[in-house]
Amino acid sequence: MSGVYVSYPFCAQKCTYCNFASGVFPRELEVRYCDALVREIGAHSWQWTPDTVYLGGGTPSSLAPDALRSMLDAIPGRPWAEATIEAAPGGITPDLARNWVEAGLTRVSLGVQSFVETEIRRTGRKHSAQTVFDELTVLRDAGIRSVNIDLIAGLSAQTSESWQESLEWVERLGPEHVSVYMLEVDEDSRLGKEMLLGGVRYGAMETPSDEATADFYETAVERLRARGIERYEISNFARPGFESLHNLKYWRLEPYVGFGADAHSFDGRVRHQNAEEIADYLAGITPVEDVPHLEDERFFVGLRLAEGIRPTPQEWLRFDQPIHRFLDSGLLETNGVDLRLTDRGVLLSNEVFQEFLET
């Protein structure tokens, strides 16, 4: 089965750590973008019926109900096995949530990042812990049974105490799915530029060290596990049966089609990427085509998953040296058939992936 990704790169504010091609744009551009998106989806010739849909961004939760409906109506396969919308806390009303459910959405991914006031403000976001609490109730009342909460480890001003506070909120709210990202400050983000300049805006002088961020991540792994929310991918944790069906397709190299600015598509052999900038997308710039080396990709993308990968006899031979080095150093483990990252290997996964890419 295949998935559909729809990109909606419009946000109420530009978060200080964000380096995506998303942000605050004029309303008029948003209207033109929605029209173009519906046209692109409508013109697609479907070779299969999708079973998952993912509206990402940006902030698709700010889409007007009519525009959202037009987009989803153009996608075949409803009711989908899973249909997710990314949402910024603040502004989720009972009417909006009811509209989402009626339009076929089944899952909401909340971009919370932190439940601690100082940390939230420094990201540029405006919600509070109470907002998340109230809006989760609204979503549950509307019939949303699958909720993800995004957290970021490594935000400015974060301490082990404040991180515990965010994790306590997660435990109190009981989402089915949690994503924990370790912040790597990008120098193109506002925060990154400020850090390069040696400035203090956005709390640039108070970002935790890499070691502290890794500690926060490990604490999250333990606390979530104790609540039955297990890591199934490096950054993703779920109760059994609530793993993101759509995102699993990326890690398992299954096909998906993407619509909108910067959206990627993969048909099982060739990958396409739509123009990154909204203006280029609206101007109809042709998507860029790439034929990936699937054997390599399967290897290091699959290792992101807790289930690991089952190398072919050829792969055991080809990667013999790095596999044995990482087994000896405790970054990989095997039962003789499957290969997986250990807990320590997860923290050093970039190093492991890089090695396999160069082999």
The footprint of ligand SF4 (CB under 6 A) covers 11, 14-15, 18, 20, 22-23, 57-59, 88, 111
Burial of 259 (C-beta count, 10 Å sphere; 0-12/13-18/19+): buried
Closer to ligand SF4 by Cβ: residue 68 or 332? 68
What's the min distance (Å) between Cβ of 14 and ligand SF4? 5
| Angle at 23 (CA atoms; ends 17, 24), nearest 5 degrees | 130
For ligand SF4, the closer of residues 181 and 353 by Cβ is: 181
Residue 150: how many other CB atoms lie within 10 Å? 17
Q: Which residues of 286-295 are buried (b: 16+ CB within 10 A; e: fewer)?
A: eeeeeeeeee
Shortest approach of ligand SF4 to residue 86 CB, angstroms?
8
Decide whether 75 or 88 has the Cβ nearer to ligand SF4.
88
Residue 177 or residue 298: which is nearer to ligand SF4 going by CB? 177
The nearest distance, CB 78 to ligand SF4, in angstroms, is 26
CB of 22 to ligand SF4, least distance (A): 4
What tokens were used for 26? Answer: 């004029």
Residue 59 CB, nearest approach to ligand SF4 (Å):
5
Between 88 and 195, whose beta carbon lies closer to ligand SF4? 88
Minimum distance between the CB of residue 210 and ligand SF4, rounded to whole angstroms? 21
Q: Which whole-number Å values give the CA distances from 39 to 36, 44, 73, 84, 348, in the listed order?
A: 5, 9, 12, 21, 43
Comparison of 105 and 261: residue with beta carbon closer to ligand SF4? 261
Pick the closest to residue 66 from 35, 27, 44 (CA basis).
35
Q: Answer for the pair 326, 345: CB distance below 8 angstroms, yes or no.
A: yes
User: Closer to ligand SF4 at the Cβ: 18 or 341?
Assistant: 18
Query: CA-to-CA distance for 115 and 35, rounded, in angstroms?
Result: 36
Q: Is 147 left (phi over 0), alpha (psi -120 to 50) or beta?
A: beta
For the CA atoms of 15, 159, 146, 55, what is the dihedral angle to 10 degrees? 20
**Closer to ligand SF4 at the Cβ: 171 or 277?**
277
> Which three-class secondary structure string do you get for 199-233?
CCHHHHHHCCCHHHHHHHHHHHHHHHHHCCCEEEE
Torsion sign (Cα): 217, 221, 226, 227: positive
* Residue 87: CB minimum distance to ligand SF4, A: 10
The minimum distance between CB 113 and ligand SF4, in angstroms, equals: 8
